[in-house]
Amino acid sequence: MKLLGNIKDVGYVLDNSGEFQVDALLIRKLIDLGLKVTVYARGLPYEIDVTADYASRVLGDRVKVVSTGNRYPVFYNKGLWRDLSTHELIISKGVGNFEAYLENDLRLRVLFLFRAKCGPIIRLLRVPKNSPVIYLKNDGRSSVIDI
């Protein structure tokens, strides 16, 4: 919780539906700690991604859920960039969201959580294959957090 410091507003970008129960627990914990949390999810599934409609049903009215309106990762949706920039921290799950962020050269404070499965990501981050990665991108600076 040291990472959260004085943060009061968090964006949470969802990914894989198989991990959503853990995401829901973390989101609820953040809310219980007094943080405002806005959840972002795809409007339609790509493979096994959780959708905004499903997240809304599970999380209820304690959290605002925003849909991309399509199958693409949140960071590809230029219409959401302004909303995303209002959060003090964004927690983003999945390598697809990480790649979308990098491709758009955004300048947001994002804590990425994913597994390094492919060669380009392994080489970029200099981590072993299948490593769990916690990567903090902070206004142009970045660092892999050793776990």
Give the type of residue at 23. D
pLDDT one-digit tens code per residue, 28-55: 999 999 999 999 999 998 888 999 999 9
Q: 106 burial class (0-12, 13-18, 19+ CB within 10 angstroms)?
A: middle
What CATH code would you report for 8-145?
A: 3.40.50.10880
For residues 127 and 36, give the distance between their C-alpha atoms in angstroms, rounded to a whole number.
Answer: 33
Rounded to two decimals, what is the model's pTM? 0.89
Long-range Cβ contact pairs of 59-62 (< 8 A, separation 24 or more): 59/24, 59/27, 59/28, 62/28, 62/31
Per-residue pLDDT band at 5 (split at 50, 70, 90): confident
